[in-house]
Amino acid sequence: MPGVKPDLLSLDIHSQPGFKNAPVMVYVHGGGWQGGDKANVGLKSRFFNQQGYVFVSVNYRLSPAVQHPAHAQDVAKAVAWVHNEIARYGGNPERMFLMGHSAGAHLAALIGVDERWLKAEGKSLSIIKGVVLLDTAAYDLAELMSRGTERTKPHEQAFGKDPKTWRDASPIEHIHSGKNYPPFWLGVAERPFKLINVERFAKKLRDSGTRVEIYDATAFETHASINRDFGAKTDKVTQAVQKFLESLK
């Protein structure tokens, strides 16, 4: 894409010799929609490879160079590419999962409920078999932005000042009855007030007939640690996600 660093539109594939028809986990990094990189996966690639998964970490264009919907478009393009090509790397495109942390969790949630983005790439929500979200407060971005606090002011770099755009970028706004959404696992850390938005998002999904699990880690995890420690043998969040994924086989 002219004027865009190629690395921002690339992805890393972590596979192992001998993998064939392995499940696939696609990971979307956080960073406030303005930073972060696909290389910052911590223990995740090793953990998922050990569990028999091909692990894919994707990049996307960052703000302030772009605003919504560029981030979601890029993630959708990456997911579609993985679905088309991952068999060449030992993965099974019919067993593909989506995961994100922070801003990446917001984008994974948006891709998982708003069919527009995958449809634009010739795909449907049915290609995603489950979504794992690590600690985002942006399920209802419109509500978050409307507070107008110093904490949310930097988000204007990514979503501007128009409430219509905030609503369009809010995953909770795109849940409707009669749709077949993938199962969701929602992890929340650090600030108990986040649970309010998590529970609202979960309720709307459940009302649509979607399976949802909430994991409350506010007593022992921080926003950073729930991501940093994922994949450690003794990590409770990892164990909970592993149980969730095993239930989807």
Position 13 confidence tier, pLDDT thresholds 50, 70, 90: very high
Asked whether residue 44 is assigned to any structural domain, the reply reads yes
Asked if the structure places residue 32 within a domain, the reply is yes
pLDDT tens-digit profile of 197-230?
Answer: 899 999 999 999 999 999 999 999 999 999 999 9
CA distance 147 to 9: 32
pLDDT bin (cut points 50, 70, 90) of residue 193 is low
Burial class (CB in 10 A: 0-12, 13-18, 19+), 61: middle
Q: What is the pLDDT of residues 25-79, one digit of tens each?
A: 999 999 999 999 999 999 999 999 999 999 999 999 999 999 999 999 999 999 9
Q: Is residue 72 part of a domain?
A: yes
| Domain CATH code at residue 218 | 3.40.50.1820
Please report whether residue 1 resides in a domain: no
Is 22 part of any domain? yes
The runs of H, that is alpha helices, within the chain are 44-50, 70-85, 103-113, 116-119, 141-146, 156-159, 163-168, 194-207, 225-228, 236-247
Residue 211: which domain range? 6-247
Res 152: pLDDT: 75
Global pTM value:
0.96
Average pLDDT score over the chain:
94
Mean pLDDT on 154-182: 95
Residue, of 148 and 215, whose pLDDT is higher: 215
pLDDT band at 144 (very low <50, low <70, confident <90, very high): confident
Q: Please indicate, yes or no, if residue 144 is contained in any of the structural domains.
A: yes
Give, as one character, the DSSP assignment of residue 31.
S
Within a domain: 205 = yes
> Is residue 23 included in any domain, yes or no?
yes
| Domains held by the chain: number | 1
